[in-house]
């Protein structure tokens, strides 16, 4: 018997979701690129013969060559090594931030949607208020309060996207809590925690996880923006945003310093969005008539 998972009320066999997501050429291409970026972030700094912070001033502004495939920066540091290390920084910060935001938003939104009342009204008011501000503005304010650096960036991004997941989780729980199976479980004596964690939250996960996948791409852009302003990872730790910041003043002297990190951000975000579209198609969230497989 095939083991199955329940997502958003849809039962899918193990790995079937990923198989469906990559069944389209765009999904397969995006998934392959994301795996390549993750592998580069994990293994690149180990495989590279250079240290990301090793300065060789006599090789500064070297154009791409056999010795330095992507060239060097203003301090003679190997750009490919720093690009891979920057991938580790940017992906780690963005992924952890969105994970924290999802967990917090799912908990708050699920509790508000399930219990309702004054708590729901307070949560809704706070969420709607924060929803009215752009994420970049919230992140800039929080980084200014917390201070620049990786920890401050992660906290800022997590709070910036909290309202999105809380609002989505609340809407899902409010829709699901009136379902027949929930009423049946309640009539059999199931408590609030059992209903929330065994029935409601697992069946509300699908749209939240897809939204988290897409939000990760936005978080990468936000992290790069903060890094570009010097508010993200601090030197000598590279990130894609800080690399673009240092290369912006050298666009006409050494354009590769800004072009390659910019391409890394753009291609990774596009791949995340394409793969997210593949997940949406795989889950078929918009079609309630979808049959079980």
pLDDT in tens, 222-237: 999 999 999 998 888 9
The mean pLDDT of 192-209, rounded to a whole number, is: 85
* Domains in the chain: ranges and CATH: 40-283 (1.10.3720.10)
Please say whether the beta carbons of 182 and 195 come within 8 A.
yes
Mean pLDDT of 269-283: 86
Burial (0-12, 13-18, 19+ Cβ within 10 Å), 99:
middle
pLDDT at 287 over 80: no
Give the integer Cα–Cα distance in Å for 164 and 183: 28
Other CB atoms within a 10 A radius of the CB of residue 216 amount to 22
Block residue for tokens 């409010």: 174
Residue 108 belongs to what H/E stretch?
A: helix 79-115
- For the residues 183-211, what does the mean pLDDT come to? 85
What does the pLDDT look like over 27-79, one tens digit per residue?
889 999 999 999 999 998 788 889 999 999 999 999 999 999 999 999 999 99
pLDDT at 15: 64
| pLDDT band with cut points at 50, 70 and 90 for residue 194 | confident
Rg (the chain; Cα; Å): 22
> What pLDDT, on the 0 to 100 scale, is given for residue 22?
77
Q: For tokens 């809704």, what's the residue?
A: 124
Q: Residue 282 above 90 pLDDT?
A: no
- Locate tokens 């013969």: which residue? 49
At residue 7, φ and ψ (nearest 5 deg) are -130, 120
């Amino acid at each position: 018997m095939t083991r199955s998972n329940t997502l958003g009320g849809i039962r899918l066999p193990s790995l079937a979701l990923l198989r469906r997501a990559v069944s389209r050429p765009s999904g397969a291409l995006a998934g392959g690129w994301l795996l390549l970026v993750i592998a580069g972030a994990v293994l690149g700094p180990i495989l590279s013969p250079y240290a990301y912070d090793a300065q060789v001033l006599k090789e500064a502004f070297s154009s791409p060559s056999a010795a330095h495939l992507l060239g060097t920066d203003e301090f003679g540091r190997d750009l490919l090594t720093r690009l891979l290390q920057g991938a580790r920084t940017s992906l780690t910060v963005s992924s952890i931030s969105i994970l924290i935001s999802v967990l917090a938003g799912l908990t708050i939104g699920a509790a508000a949607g399930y219990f309702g009342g004054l708590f729901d009204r307070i949560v809704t008011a706070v969420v709607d208020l924060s929803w009215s501000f752009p994420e970049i503005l919230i992140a800039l304010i929080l980084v200014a309060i917390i201070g620049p650096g990786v920890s401050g960036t992660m906290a800022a991004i997590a709070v910036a996207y909290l309202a999105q997941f809380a609002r989505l989780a609340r809407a899902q729980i409010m829709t699901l809590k009136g379902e027949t199976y929930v009423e049946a479980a309640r009539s059999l004596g199931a408590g609030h925690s059992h209903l929330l964690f065994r029935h409601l939250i697992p069946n509300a996960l699908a749209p939240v996880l897809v939204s988290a996948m897409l939000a990760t791409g936005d978080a990468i852009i936000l992290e790069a923006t903060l890094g570009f302003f010097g508010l993200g990872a601090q030197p000598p730790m590279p990130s894609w945003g800080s690399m673009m910041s240092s290369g912006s003043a050298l666009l006409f002297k050494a354009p590769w310093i800004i072009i390659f990190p910019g391409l890394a951000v753009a291609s990774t975000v596009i791949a995340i969005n394409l793969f997210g579209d593949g997940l949406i198609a795989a889950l078929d969230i918009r079609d309630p008539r979808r049959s079980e497989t």
